[in-house]
Amino acid sequence: MSRSADTHCPYCALQCAMTLDPVSSADAAAAPVTVTGRDFPTNRGGLCKKGWTSAELLRAPSRLGAPLLRGADGVLREASWEVALDVVAAWLRGTRTAHGADAVGVFGGGGLTNEKAYLLGKFARLALGTSRIDYNGRYCMSSAAAAGNRAFGVDRGLPFPLEDLDAAHTILLLGTNVAETMPPFIGHLVGAQAAGGLVVVDPRRTATARLTDDGRGLHLQPVPGTDLALLLGLTHIVIAERLVDLDYVSARTVGYDAIRRSVASWWPERVQSVTGVAALTLRRLARRLASGGNTYVLTGRGVEQHVDGTDTATAAINLALLLGLPGRAGSGYGTLTGQGNGQGGREHGQKCDQLPGYRKITDPSARAHVAAVWGVDPADIPGPGVPAVELLQSLGEPDGVRALLVHGSNLVVSSPNVAAVRERLAALDLLVVCDFFLSETAALADVVLPITQWAEEEGTMTSLEGRVIRRRRAITPPDGVRDELWILAELARRLDCSATFDTDPELVFEELRLASEGGIADYSGIDYALLDRGEAAYWPYPRGSEGSPRLFAERFAHPDGLARLVAVAARESAHPSPLPGELTLVTGRLLEHYQSGSQTRRVPELRDAQPEARAAMHPSTADRLGIADGELVELSNARGTVRCRARLTTDIRPDAVFLPFHYGDGQAANLLTSDAVDPVSAMPEFKTNAVRVARLVETGVVA
């Protein structure tokens, strides 16, 4: 069955609107639907290359069509759903009996619908009885979320509609390359660009940074890992030059005196010596930010994926608060969520320390509320678990996780210190992966369960603006695949769980509404009927309200209504300088690929545009190392080795080398990244890892 459906792109958190129309069966071998951009505030009818080609995945030749079980000979073979689920349930029951409930772990994903994320958290805590659940959003939003929560009392990526940026006079983009990661976004930068107020901070001259090439904007190219020092320096200038909005700070914040003292030693010339950004440029930027007009400060993963990422995001918030931006009409602070449901995915229970509605799992009243919705005793809900990196480090350990269920994640590409993750996965008694394809992680599994894709299912997503939107089914899924709601319900039944696990996404959402009611992320006033009418639904959306497109106009989410200015300090130990002969590895995304590449590397047009990883380095660096453009090189450190070809470009600093993180196996950039984490958010250090780069003798094959 096929039908026309108004839905949204399966990729990033911009959630561009599109219409899917069925094609004749004779023409449906490559793609069963055509994709048309649909007018919507975020994309205005436009799509990027990923969106235009998204339907090709629905009929990709490598699509899984039946469950796979690994035999005694180590080979994965097709099995029936009845057999596969019976095997999984028996292993889970045996693991819990032998080692306790926390010997079973669950790893979720920021691409799951709200319904799946919600039911996955419920399944882990009630059907499995485990506290060991976390998800891959820990890798991309946790530092910004922690900073937002402690400053504002709430974590919503953009506390205003994206359209508000259209009238901006100045936009400061810190560590985000929207021109490649979410191309339709750049349409909202045009106003600031025309006003000469687009400012991009990135150690690379990215496609986004090149938007300032007309000379009217500004690109700051600091030493990798010095963003915190840069922000402390800007804050120093704002205070020293009396650019602070003192009326706003006095009326709407607490903590100013501590901030003033904490940045006193970060005078511009010192910041220049640390970051490489000229003192004159720093002063020019601070004055521009404080010059009035509509000003926004936006952060991305480049300044957050560090062991001091929470403090860096906090420093950006402090700067915005001193300028009086958050909650002021036409101005603001925000952080750009990356994964498709990165916002909703962290709100309803797949984080180790949260219950639905962004409730803290340690809060007795929160536990009582959710327990009442679930029909259980609050004592039946386990306490907090451990974040992603710690969870993975425990795999296969005597007192750790012995069986792991993975949903919506490709762990052996996206996780830090990939070689160690592979070892821990191999030590498991049972690895179960739900996926569309035999990803690098699924290829290691004992059981692989094939699941529906975006155009084959119903549900909701929450965009980077905190706007809840509808995902609609356009085609019937292949016979051999199943929806994860059904899989969770079937496993819960086999595990003799008495709680209700609905398989209809609308019924699951109705339960989610009740569970979230009264929480920070309150969805209780939203239902499918409202979304189907096309009404905008920004959370918090309590029952009887009209939602909250703009937060902080009158108060922040702390009990006293005031924002917290939190003093932070730069630590030299956070980003030690590379030793002689080393470069700083910077990782990021390419236009054609998304996240671990599990999907986009299977679309011929996207794959062929970027068929292999290339290490981008400055020509002067390459000359010193005796490397020519296109030659085979090896990047290495104590954690691993990556072999790929060199790409010479002046768009990167001479002290750095860039690798995209979309590739698997021997070209996985995360073979080189550290699993050291931020002490507040547990975000891994993805962005500044020291590596050695050497030319290799050409063999004709890239490892």
- pLDDT by residue (tens digit) across 39-56? 999 999 999 999 999 999
Q: Is residue 547 part of a domain?
A: no
Query: 182 and 124, same structural domain?
Result: no
Query: 613 and 597, same structural domain?
Result: yes
Tokens of 685: 């250090």
What are the φ and ψ backbone dihedral angles of 298, each rounded to 5 degrees?
-125, 135
What's the rounded Cα separation, in Å, for the pair 165 and 39? Answer: 18
Alpha helices in 551-679 (DSSP H): 604-609, 619-625
Tokens of 554: 């009158």
Tokens of 303: 């300044």
Please check the confidence at residue 702 and state whether its pLDDT lies above 70. Answer: no
Please check the confidence at residue 703 and state whether its pLDDT lies above 90. Answer: no
Average pLDDT score over residue span 213-218: 89
Place of tokens 């994860």: 484
pLDDT in tens, 226-242: 999 999 999 999 999 99
**Taking the CB of residue 75, how many other CB atoms lie within 10 A of it?**
9
Query: 150 and 74, same structural domain?
Result: no
Average pLDDT score over residue span 551-556: 97
pLDDT of residue 573: 79
pLDDT of residue 363: 97
What's the rounded Cα separation, in Å, for the pair 560 and 558? Answer: 5
Last-in-domain residue among 335, 351, 375: 335
Q: Is residue 111 part of a domain?
A: yes
Q: Is residue 561 part of a domain?
A: no
Helix (H, G, I), strand (E, B) or coil at 251: helix
pLDDT of residue 24: 73
Percent of the chain with pLDDT over 90: 94
pLDDT of residue 25: 65
Domain assignment of residue 580, given as a range: 576-695
Q: Is residue 257 part of a domain?
A: yes
Query: 470 and 352, same structural domain?
Result: yes
pLDDT of residue 26: 55
- Residues 6 or more apart whose Cβ sits within 8 Å of residue 104: 92, 95, 96, 128, 130, 132, 401, 402, 403, 404, 405
Average pLDDT score over residue span 151-155: 97
pLDDT in tens, 425-462: 999 999 999 999 999 999 999 999 999 999 999 999 99
What's the rounded Cα separation, in Å, for the pair 133 and 16? Answer: 30
Query: 244 and 150, same structural domain?
Result: yes
**Taking the CB of residue 303, how many other CB atoms lie within 10 A of it?**
28
Average pLDDT score over residue span 661-675: 95
Helices 81-99 and 484-494, axial angle in degrees (round to 10): 50
Q: Report the candidate in 103, 81, 139, 59 with the shortest Cα–Cα distance to residue 387.
A: 139
Last-in-domain residue among 461, 479, 503: 503
Instruction: Read off the pLDDT band of 28 (50, 70, 90).
Output: low
Query: 164 and 131, same structural domain?
Result: no
What's the rounded Cα separation, in Å, for the pair 538 and 509? Answer: 16
Average pLDDT score over residue span 213-236: 95
Query: 351 and 491, same structural domain?
Result: yes
Please check the confidence at residue 338 and state whether its pLDDT lies above 90. Answer: no
Please check the confidence at residue 695 and state whether its pLDDT lies above 90. Answer: yes
What's the rounded Cα separation, in Å, for the pair 607 and 642? Answer: 19
For 601, left (φ over 0), alpha (ψ -120 to 50), or beta? alpha
Please check the confidence at residue 592 and state whether its pLDDT lies above 80. Answer: yes
What's the rounded Cα separation, in Å, for the pair 336 and 321? Answer: 18
Place of tokens 């453009």: 629
pLDDT of residue 572: 83
Please check the confidence at residue 301 and state whether its pLDDT lies above 70. Answer: yes
Percent of the chain with pLDDT over 70: 98
DSSP 226: -
Contact criterion met (CB below 8 Å) for 112 and 407: yes
How far is C-alpha 139 from the geometric centre of its chain's CA atoms? 6
Average pLDDT score over residue span 638-648: 97
Instruction: Read off the pLDDT band of 697 (50, 70, 90).
Output: confident
Place of tokens 């809900």: 381
Q: Report the candidate in 494, 497, 486, 500 with the shortest Cα–Cα distance to residue 374.
A: 500
Q: Report the candidate in 463, 137, 144 with the shortest Cα–Cα distance to residue 300.
A: 144
Domain total for the chain? Answer: 3
Helix (H, G, I), strand (E, B) or coil at 406: strand
What's the rounded Cα separation, in Å, for the pair 224 and 578? Answer: 11
pLDDT of residue 532: 95
Beta-strand ranges (E) seen in 291-371 are: 295-299, 332-335, 354-355, 359-360
Query: 361 and 474, same structural domain?
Result: yes
Query: 385 and 408, same structural domain?
Result: yes
What's the rounded Cα separation, in Å, for the pair 649 and 635? Answer: 17
What are the φ and ψ backbone dihedral angles of 475, each rounded to 5 degrees?
-135, 160
**Taking the CB of residue 378, how many other CB atoms lie within 10 A of it?**
15
Last-in-domain residue among 283, 307, 335: 335
Average pLDDT score over residue span 667-676: 97
Average pLDDT score over residue span 144-167: 97
Contact criterion met (CB below 8 Å) for 331 and 251: no
What's the rounded Cα separation, in Å, for the pair 76 and 78? Answer: 7
Integer angstrom CA distances of residue 286 from 196, 236, 239: 14, 9, 10
Q: Report the candidate in 478, 672, 345, 371 with the shortest Cα–Cα distance to residue 60.
A: 478
Furthest-apart CA atoms within the chain: distance in Å: 72
pLDDT of residue 277: 98
Contact criterion met (CB below 8 Å) for 593 and 602: no
pLDDT in tens, 66-99: 999 999 999 999 999 999 999 999 999 999 999 9
Please check the confidence at residue 170 and state whether its pLDDT lies above 70. Answer: yes
**Taking the CB of residue 679, how many other CB atoms lie within 10 A of it?**
11
pLDDT of residue 699: 57
Average of per-residue pLDDT values in the chain:
95
Query: 347 and 331, same structural domain?
Result: no
Q: Report the candidate in 300, 319, 315 with the shortest Cα–Cα distance to residue 141.
A: 300
What's the rounded Cα separation, in Å, for the pair 672 and 644? Answer: 13
What are the φ and ψ backbone dihedral angles of 508, each rounded to 5 degrees?
-65, -40
Instruction: Read off the pLDDT band of 650 (50, 70, 90).
Output: very high
Tokens of 619: 């020509």
Query: 61 and 167, same structural domain?
Result: no
CATH code, domain carrying 676: 2.40.40.20
Q: Is residue 548 part of a domain?
A: no
pTM above threshold 0.85: yes
CATH code, domain carrying 400: 3.40.50.740
What's the rounded Cα separation, in Å, for the pair 402 and 399? Answer: 8
Query: 357 and 313, same structural domain?
Result: no
Average pLDDT score over residue span 169-176: 97
What are the φ and ψ backbone dihedral angles of 135, each rounded to 5 degrees?
-155, 175
Contact criterion met (CB below 8 Å) for 220 and 173: no
**Can you give the C-alpha Rg of the chain in angstroms?**
24
Instruction: Read off the pLDDT band of 105 (50, 70, 90).
Output: very high
